[in-house]
Amino acid sequence: MAIANESHQEEHNMQEHHGAGRYVVIWVVLLVLTLVTVFTGRMHLPSFGLLLALVIASVKGTLVALYFMHLSEHQGANRLVFGVSIIFVVLLIGFSLMDLGTRFRLANPPGSQYSDLQAVDIGANPAEGRTGGHQQIQKQGHETHE
């Protein structure tokens, strides 16, 4: 018996089961992508780290939807809904990254990886030349009194 939006051909296709090999390959790909996510998450990639994480997560979600949820075997409305969903995810990621990349310099919080401003005393280490905002204000105050 076919579901409401499936044809008899799709019902016939659903009864043909694929071997476990296909699922093992997809599972291994998902594990590799997870390892890539973990390793790149530990690296300091300020310029494209966010983009890389979002792309990997989108690819993993797409693989799960296509193969483990069997959307690759469906046709018609299911493919249309999946395709439109992918387009909207790409637009969401794209617009978010464009917004982040074109922000006014002071709109990013000080101390964040997207800001070149230092937060007050966050990460202050005079040995590395990072004094933090509070100490810089004190230095400026001493210079003006001299």
Q: State if pTM tops 0.85.
A: no
* pLDDT band, very low/low/confident/very high, at 57 (cuts 50, 70, 90): very high
pLDDT tens, residue by residue, 23-52: 999 999 999 999 999 999 888 887 788 889
Bigger pLDDT: 11 vs 97 = 97
Q: How far apart are CA 12 and CA 133, in angstroms?
A: 68
**Which tokens in the block code for residue 20?**
């476990």
User: Among residues 30, 85, 83, which one has the least CA distance to residue 57?
Assistant: 30
